[in-house]
Amino acid sequence: MHTDKPREACGIFGVCAPGADVARLAYYGLYALQHRGQESAGIAAADGRQIVLHREMGLVAEVFSEERLTELTGYLAIGHVRYSTTGASHPVNAQPLVFYCGEGMLGLAHNGNLSNGYSLRRELLSSGAVFQSTTDSEVLINLIARLNGEHNLPGAIRQCMAKAEGAYAVVLLTEDRIYAVRDPYGFRPLCVGRLTSGWVVASESCALDAVGAKFIRDVAPGEILEVSPEGLRTHSVVTVEHRAHCVFEYIYFARPDSTLDGFNVGRVRREMGRQLAREYCPAADIVVPVPDSGIAAARGFAEASGLRFEEGLMKNRYVGRTFIQPSQRLRDAGVRLKLNPVREAVAGKRVVLVDDSVVRGTTSCKIVRMLRDAGARKVYYCLSSPPIVRSCYYGIDTTNDKELIAAQKSVPEICQYMGADGLHYLSIEGLLRVFGEKAQDLCVACFTGNYPVPVKDTGVGKFGLGRPRALEVVG
């Protein structure tokens, strides 16, 4: 929808609930995680004897009918939503992946990106492995299946974790249990909740709320958590010297009603807005958010600055994945369909416009122009994140460095390009201050270039299937 933003890779969900309609619970869970991926959706269910799978391109509501859900029987289910790009979509990369291996069936749903995914893939190919998709998620399931020959499943997962580098939050489904696994740095979120008679794991706590589960805790970075009708069992926790939770989950991706690793997303965004106002507060009349992700930060900005909060831009929430992109001539009309200024709110006003982040800057220019056309006297662009200067290799599509406006232009140049009267990015120090002593547990590599896990060989653009880069490696 908002084309000038980083794109989230995936959302995952798992449920173990004997006697309950697990397919329907997974369906609702995925519905709550739809913001994390709109390209494809899938659910795999197990009944103690076999795994049944349904996955397709499309939104959760498009992929699953009443009839489809009825076919997914059992007491265990895992689910996955995958994000959409503007390019072609590929059913081959939809998840969960399900294979026959060793003594039974194994399903996997993955969120994240391995920073050594391509090396591992080559290693597996040279030893005779075959792949049906171009995702690094298949590298993970391949490794686990092979290692399962020598080890029990938790042991095989642990061995796989010793080889895999980078970001992965995973739910694995066997015929009679689920394993929830998070990489040792905890890049991508994963939490666990309790149902009246069962357990749920999900990328975000909003999905626990959606199915009536009570939040218990986050899956610990490096933890292998077994979920079965007997309850929860931690097999091992692989530790590293520090954690690296993706700060962009808080800035933009996650839902404001989710709590990730101890921080409520909405509250964090509000505090980022307050911090932004402490750093830069031009003489202005009103604070206007770029909806929806800028709303909480704009409220924080208004609180700290004393300026009035105004909903000066309206978002059309029904412009979705299937929106036909307008021709060149109608391009501005296309933006207007998604966002429209409230003339009565902004005319004659000096506006502080609060947005969460900017990738290429193209949409920002149009929004500034839109506000001016609606009569705004001044437009000051305020961003509740620092400039994005480096690509992400841990499962977020921030585009390549060359297309990142902040990697190519200085702040005054960007301000001029946007046509704004002023531009301020939240400082990296200001961003970290919001998290207090927990700031050391964050990944901020797209702002600093300090990658917590060395980026060796992700396989970006190397699978040779002529597909857009983002579709080839993210999971």
Residues 33 and 205: beta-carbon distance below 8 Å: no
Alpha-carbon gap, residue 173 to 97, rounded angstroms: 10
185 lines the binding site for ligand SF4 (CB under 6 A): no
190 lines the binding site for ligand SF4 (CB under 6 A): no
| Angle value at C-alpha 140, between 136 and 221, nearest 5 degrees | 105
How many positions of this chain bind ligand SF4 (CB under 6 A)? 12
Q: Which CB, 186 or 341, lies closer to ligand SF4?
A: 186
265-279 and 295-305 helices, crossing angle to 10°: 40
- Residues within window 230-249 making contact with ligand SF4, judged by CB under 6 A: 246-248
Q: Which CB, 118 or 309, lies closer to ligand SF4?
A: 118
Pick the piece of the chain touching ligand SF4 (CB under 6 A) from 33-41, 46-54, 390-398, 422-430.
Answer: 390-398
Q: Tell me the β-bridge partners of 44.
A: 53, 78
Alpha-carbon gap, residue 430 to 225, rounded angstroms: 35
- Residues within window 393-422 making contact with ligand SF4, judged by CB under 6 A: 394, 396, 398
- Residues within window 193-222 making contact with ligand SF4, judged by CB under 6 A: none
Pick the piece of the chain touching ligand SF4 (CB under 6 A) from 63-71, 150-158, 279-287, 439-447.
Answer: 439-447
Alpha-carbon gap, residue 92 to 150, rounded angstroms: 29
* Strand arrangement, sheet containing 286-289: 308-309, 286-289, 350-355, 378-383, 422-425
460 lines the binding site for ligand SF4 (CB under 6 A): no
Residues 388 and 359: beta-carbon distance below 8 Å: yes
Contacting residue, 171, 444, 460, 473, with ligand SF4 by CB under 6 A? 444
Taking CB atoms, the residue at the shortest distance from ligand SF4 is 392
33 lines the binding site for ligand SF4 (CB under 6 A): no
- Longest distance between any two alpha carbons in the chain, whole Å: 72
SS3 444: coil
Shortest reach from residue 398's CB to ligand SF4, in Å? 6
Alpha-carbon gap, residue 446 to 393, rounded angstroms: 9
Q: Annotated catalytic residue: which of 10, 160, 246, 415?
A: 10
Amino acid type, 78:
I
Alpha-carbon gap, residue 23 to 345, rounded angstroms: 46
254 lines the binding site for ligand SF4 (CB under 6 A): no
Could you give the C-alpha distances from 223 to 108, 157, 325, in angstroms and in order? 16, 10, 43
Is 10 catalytic? The answer is yes
DSSP state of 440: G
Q: Residues near 34 by Cβ (< 8 Å), separated by ≥ 6?
A: 11, 59, 60, 81
Q: What is the phi/psi pair of residue 124, to 5°?
A: -65, -40
Q: Residues near 151 by Cβ (< 8 Å), separated by ≥ 6?
A: 158, 159
Token pair for residue 280?
Answer: 């830069």
Q: Which CB, 371 or 473, lies closer to ligand SF4?
A: 473
263 lines the binding site for ligand SF4 (CB under 6 A): no
What is the x/- site pattern for ligand SF4, positions 347-386, by CB under 6 A?
----------------------------------------
Q: What is the phi/psi pair of residue 453, to 5°?
A: -120, 125
State the residues that interact with ligand SF4 by CB under 6 A: 187, 246-248, 392, 394, 396, 398, 443-446
Would you name the residues annotated as active-site residues? 10
